[in-house]
Structure 1
């Protein structure tokens, strides 16, 4: 029989391996491509203004282009600002804190799995599935808040389990773990506001189902109260400083109103997030139905209760919200990974007898092999697309599709021949495919929807005074352009631009057509042109 000491040593080695693999995948080549609009550019600029502030108030009351920034609490912005002060203001320093926290969430998910599963296999496979989920890697590397809050949520669940598990304490809850739950709740709310309340509610519903006696433990609620003190202090300080403006903007418009109203025209049908899962969670989504069936069948077990509450509770909550954005689904992916991990662990137990504690399948479903073969065909099409004769010639992208084609093709063959090696084949192959994608210029494919921002930003930065506002005829404001040029570039209609050109001295315009401004004033100085964008000035260049 394996001793508990040996088991803990093995877990430590696995956690170290998972952390190393995650840090490599999440942090490689973060500087390779520019920040995207909207959130990345905005978060990076808020962090810059914090890092350049002369007093502590710049950190407590952050600003965006000199105006109060009340969209989200500034925890992640503060971490990015610290990275700026340590290593300078760069694309990679803007992305580094979020990437590191998302990487940390991988071994923490394994640790949570070890708390709820009876055996190591489903915990390890689930963590590896989570590590190789495309949307997790993509969004986790961005200068956004979602990877951080998922890390804090997984940590909160782990500490809640440590506090209430009968295996840890037969006498009741452990107070110091309860305090950790409170700290985790505060960190979630200081990252994304009211979303932390929803995630805590999911954790408490799970506790009420799995161990209802611990839900009313005074230690738990005292821990939440003490751990939440920093959160309470921060909100009180904001209310004292901004008054009703903070309530109207931060609490209502940017938080509560998103539940029942559509904010900034970000809406969608109730099945919006199901479509998001269908678009980006392949090929792991192939195993999700089997995993969910096994989870439902095992709903009397702790791990199944957690997965069901997490999946159904969170998916239902975000689906009925009025405002819908693609990254709202991020906290669901660890539950998806757990569900897929259950199916894959059951496959690995295929030749073992049912013990009452494990999961096993009698045989590998043929549909798995068929769907993997279809996904391999998609990879083959992608190779053509990334070839010199395709629409997007790229060596790194071609290697990505090649890895996908070979991995899923071989896995399909193994599944159809009832060979269990398909699991490590998928895990290793998809990790390598994602590594190839992350060193390419295509992992943030939204950048291809608009003009390249860096050359235009350099044109502005080289030819305009610091702090100068630039007006553009572009259809909407691009925060990334403002960040890289270190000037506020604000969008205006043609009529507003013509009025600005005539009545403001000096006026710097970024336009694609200079004809409407040539006859309005005597002087039109063209400062430069890049990618069809003209930077013009309504006075002689001095």
Structure 2
């Protein structure tokens, strides 16, 4: 594997790639409300952390949020504090850590590809990662996964530097080992032991494959683990004291270990789930990744390919075997997949390796058709979803289809002509148009699914008092809690009626059509008359139900 020297031209192109990825991740950050359900839970817990000045005990309303350490909340709290947006509930501020982390991860992937293979492979790898569906989705949300991805990448990058030093028979500086263990420590502060699966799994698996673990000494195992613990232990001690050990019972016993044996929150799936969704999650690179397998097989004895496979395989197997499955669980291996795909695409067209077996060529042909269908569906998604939910499609949805479908056709023709790199560029161009159109013009205009902002506006318009008591019986999504600054209680319609009885002048009840009969019957027993201030109708995508919610107060 010949590698070109990393020149100033490469670094200029790397900066251009990073800047382009940053711009691609910007649309929708401020205009799209919080995505239920995980994102607003992080947002609200962060807001409460800033309001209470309690940076140890993370809480969502009055309940402890003992799922993972406080790292992500600290990052989001820093972003909100620096932007001065706490009182505004500006969603874009909470999403800054994800934006910075994902942009950095894309640039780091490209840099690693240049070190492993050549500058062209690196830039292609970064572009493939940047245009994948899962990266574009996760990079826009104020959740852990983008920052965890960066922590894993930094650990893998430091491991790559160790392997590069070994291949050139030069000494590995202590700073490289410090980066490795610090990255794992930061990963522990973000999502606990999960980071150790790729972080320690890659070097140990590679040592096992090579039957030589002497090079692991370059990572300074003698003192490195102390650096990792020094980052996470102080907070662990603090939360252990504050929660009287309850945090570890919930986060490790129920959240981490509980996901292994059974699917939590209806997210159970059989082995093979991640492989099945890969076609969409890594689109448009998924077909090119599958087509790159002969390239990988032909070079399977090189340390570069073995390093990538030892990064991918242990992590993938672990998360295929555990019961709880979500697409982002295997996100930490997507850079490795992008790296070997970029390396294959950087070869000239006459060097491209197609599968030799007839059945493999047929399987690749079928998979290519599946990926093409996924691209067509994404191109038409804006039109279809807008028509179904809003009854009409905005101009951006039409422009997506007009711009992206011809590029998909060109990509298909290029694949047939065995011009794979050209096909990849056409496919990535199609993806860029789809993401820009969806996040800029389509998703923000799906008003029917954004119930929380509309309910918040309606409630604020009719607040009888500055300290009004508000109960919602039919809609209980975390995004509503966040936008209402936590001043909302979810309860039954019967208890909502009881609240209005006890707080006639400053109470508001949010009651859906299905709960109105119980609500009115309960109030009629007390001879209490209500006034309907307004109604909000929409689709709750978390439950798949259409809702018609009335805002009620007591008639004077």
Post-superposition Cα deviations, 1:361-398, rounded to whole Å, max 9, x if no partner, equal 699x8949867765675577558647989965122222
Is 2:325 the counterpart of 1:324?
yes
For these two proteins, the number of residue pairs brought into alignment is 522
2:411 aligns with 411
2:107 aligns with 107
Task: Sort the Cα spacing of 1:443 and 1:456 in 2 relative to 1 into closer, same or farther, 3 A.
Answer: closer
| Unpaired segments ≥5 residues, structure 2 | 537-547
2:545 aligns with none
Partner Cα distance (1:237, 1:491) in 2: 31
Matched-pair contact (CA < 8 Å) for 1:185–1:224: no
1:72 aligns with 68
Partner Cα distance (1:222, 1:444) in 2: 54
Out of 367-376 and 170-179, give the one that drifted further: 367-376
User: Helix, strand or coil: the match of 1:340?
Assistant: helix
User: Helix, strand or coil: the match of 1:228?
Assistant: helix
Report the alpha carbon displacement of residue 502 of structure 1 after superposing the two structures with TM.
5.6
Which residue among 525, 530, 535 is the counterpart of 1:530?
535
User: Helix, strand or coil: the match of 1:52?
Assistant: helix
Out of 129-138 and 25-34, give the one that drifted further: 25-34
Matched-pair contact (CA < 8 Å) for 1:84–1:94: yes
Task: Sort the Cα spacing of 1:377 and 1:81 in 2 relative to 1 into closer, same or farther, 3 A.
Answer: closer
TM-score after normalising by structure 2 = 0.84
Matched-pair contact (CA < 8 Å) for 2:268–2:324: yes
1:155 aligns with 154
Partner Cα distance (2:331, 2:235) in 1: 26
Question: What aligned pairs does 1:352-367 form with structure 2 within 5 A after superposition?
Answer: 367=365
Task: Sort the Cα spacing of 1:23 and 1:235 in 2 relative to 1 into closer, same or farther, 3 A.
Answer: same
1:242 aligns with 243
1:517 aligns with 519
1:485 aligns with 484
Partner Cα distance (2:157, 2:93) in 1: 29
Partner Cα distance (2:46, 2:503) in 1: 31
2:182 aligns with 183
Partner Cα distance (1:273, 1:124) in 2: 26
Partner Cα distance (1:362, 1:329) in 2: 26
Is 2:81 the counterpart of 1:85?
yes
Question: What aligned pairs does 1:448-463 form with structure 2 within 5 A after superposition?
Answer: 450=449, 452-462=451-461, 463=463
Question: What aligned pairs does 1:360-375 form with structure 2 within 5 A after superposition?
Answer: 367=365
User: Helix, strand or coil: the match of 1:204?
Assistant: helix
1:294 aligns with 295
Out of 330-339 and 311-320, give the one that drifted further: 330-339
Report the alpha carbon displacement of residue 226 of structure 1 after superposing the two structures with TM.
1.4
Partner Cα distance (1:14, 1:59) in 2: 40
Post-superposition Cα deviations, 1:173-213, rounded to whole Å, max 9, x if no partner, equal 32111011111001111111121122223232344246621
Out of 108-117 and 151-160, give the one that drifted further: 108-117
Question: What aligned pairs does 1:110-149 form with structure 2 within 5 A after superposition?
Answer: 110-117=110-117, 119-149=118-148
| Unpaired segments ≥5 residues, structure 1 | 353-358
1:284 aligns with 285
Report the alpha carbon displacement of residue 157 of structure 1 after superposing the two structures with TM.
0.6
Report the alpha carbon displacement of residue 143 of structure 1 after superposing the two structures with TM.
1.1
TM-score after normalising by structure 1 = 0.86
Kindly report the root-mean-square deviation, in angstroms, between the aligned alpha carbons of the 2 structures: 3.3
Partner Cα distance (2:168, 2:442) in 1: 50
Task: Sort the Cα spacing of 1:444 and 1:10 in 2 relative to 1 into closer, same or farther, 3 A.
Answer: farther
Task: Sort the Cα spacing of 1:272 and 1:206 in 2 relative to 1 into closer, same or farther, 3 A.
Answer: same
Report the alpha carbon displacement of residue 161 of structure 1 after superposing the two structures with TM.
1.7
Task: Sort the Cα spacing of 1:238 and 1:386 in 2 relative to 1 into closer, same or farther, 3 A.
Answer: closer
